[in-house]
Amino acid sequence: MSDAFLSRLPAGLSVLSDTASLTRYSTDASGLRTGTPLLVARPATVAQVAALVTLCAEENRKITIAGGGSGLAGGAAPDDGDVVLSLELLNQIEEIDEAGGTALVQAGVVLETLCAAVEEKGWYFPLDLGARGSCQIGGNVATNAGGNRVLRYGTTRQLVLGLEVVLPDGTIMTMLDRTLKNNTGLDIKQLFIGTEGTLGIITRVVVRLFPRPQARRSALVGLASFAQIAPLLKAARSALPELSSFEVMWDNYVAAAAKVKGKPVPFEGVWPLTVLLETEGADTPMFHAGFDAFLESILENDTVQDAIVPQSLEQAADLWAIRDGIGALFPSLRPFVAFDIGIPLKDMGAFIEQTMAELNARWPYAGNLLFGHLGDGNLHLTTGHLHEADIVPVEEAIYALTCRFNGSISAEHGIGRLKKPFLHYSRDDTQRQVMQRIRQALNPQGLVNAARIID
């Protein structure tokens, strides 16, 4: 490590360089390892972030941005000699505006921490995903995280009002708007949402809040076939205007997730598909009666075969624990590929049928688990128990099918390093060229989060 470089590090900056720390920050939840960083820098102020980035630009030293480490696309895996810039100490909730319904937070705030803090003030931040206890707001914004409630509230992009960003030359750009309406030309903040740190480092975020729901009702329903999904979704959206989640799980996923979470298998595994529905609203007789009437209706007209209705928050949490069980299953599935695919719902049945036929024919020994936020066309397929040599051919096969159905190879997890070779399946030459020109304009040295999304 260069003594000259060390001597120029910002005053008071927390720096880790021991072997254990360098190893820990060398990967994310994807397991991808591409190198060992020079050091891990943990700024506690935006000024420290800017000073460090300026120094790295002057020294021509690459930076890998680290958030909560929950990414599945290899976006936080550094190359040899990178400076890992961890935002974990930039973790303050600076303001909760109880009148306007906004919160100003630093990028390292953990999602679950933010949700709890705003609920104490009678507000609600609806972003929710399985990694809620470790993922950070900056990473959520950088990857445009989706999650369980996109159906009602949209992706992270729809929840962000303002940003502060440190550009790759160290310039601080402040766009901390707090209003829904700002029609003053190009909405520059959108350039940094979903671009995975390749255009700049998100340091502070203004997020949009909603009134805290007074009541939440959920049910797990059993279906005999995929053909029942679309009619059920249509009926739910019609009868339940405050429908927030529509999570579909296949029987083998439910069985595996229930086992790893220590929960009983719902319906004793009788139905090939189950759907976890959730709606939020005011705690009024009308709200509860409407939900009960909807369940009664879909059972009577055979839209679904059976239903489990939780009678307590604990019972509802048990159902969601099964839905969120995929992370606990990953270790037993290695080597695996975790697909995060967007497919139009009208084509989803045909896509799944063709996908499973190809996987079963070419890799009969693989284990395939399916679940998804099918209300917004997002399917999660995990193909495990593979050989290392199978990984790329499996990816090529599934992404080629995704392209054939005009889908997206990444609905919510991002591209990172792992999906970069397959980007052409979702973005044509013209789009990739425009993306590259924008990156060249904002990150001309290519030092910040190099080798992600596009070269």
Q: Flag whether 452 is in a domain.
A: no
On whether residue 205 sits in a domain, the answer given is yes
Does the pLDDT at position 74 exceed 60? yes
The predicted structure's pLDDT at residue 3: 73
Domain ends where: 275, 309, 324? 324
Mean pLDDT of the chain: 96
**H or E segment and range at residue 431:** helix 429-442
Residues 138 and 40 in one domain: no
For the chain, what is the domain count? 4
State whether 320 and 332 are in the same domain: no
Say how far apart CA 124 and CA 216 lie, in whole Å.
Answer: 13
Whether the pLDDT of residue 334 is over 60: the answer is: yes
Residue 2 has what pLDDT?
62
CA distances to 100, 146, 324 from 161, in Å: 12, 16, 28
Exposure on the CB side of residue 85, measured as CA atoms within 13 A: 34
What CATH number corresponds to the domain at position 56? Answer: 3.30.43.10
Q: Average pLDDT for residues 49-62, to the nearest whole number?
A: 97
Q: What is the pLDDT of residue 105?
A: 98
The answer to whether residues 71 and 104 belong to one domain is: no
Task: Look up the CATH number of the domain holding residue 124.
Answer: 3.30.465.10
pLDDT digits (tens, 9 = 90+) for 89-112: 999 999 999 999 999 999 999 999
Which two three-digit tokens encode residue 44?
A: 């506690």
Shared domain check, 115 and 14: no
356 burial type by CB count under 10 A (0-12 exposed, 13-18 middle, 19+ buried) = middle
Q: Which CATH number covers residue 342? A: 3.30.70.2740
Within 8 A by CB and 6+ apart from 323, the residues are 148, 247, 249, 257, 276, 371
- Note whether 81 and 166 are same-domain residues: no
How far, CA to CA in Å, does 20 sit from each of 17, 39, 65, 81? 8, 11, 18, 16
**Structure tokens of 393?**
């051919």
Q: Residue 363 in contact with residue 388, Cβ under 8 Å? A: no
Average confidence (pLDDT) over 179-183: 92
389 domain-assigned: yes
CA distances from 408 to 259, 329, 402, 403 (A): 31, 24, 7, 7
Percent of the chain with pLDDT over 90: 98
Is residue 284 over pLDDT 60?
yes
Domain holding 284, by residue range, is 215-324
Chain centre to alpha carbon of residue 325: 15
Instruction: Report yes or no: 103 and 96 within 8 Å, Cβ to Cβ.
Output: yes
Q: What is the mean pLDDT of the segment spanning 360-386? A: 96
> Residue 449: inside a domain, yes or no?
no
* Domain final residue, candidates 266, 297, 324: 324
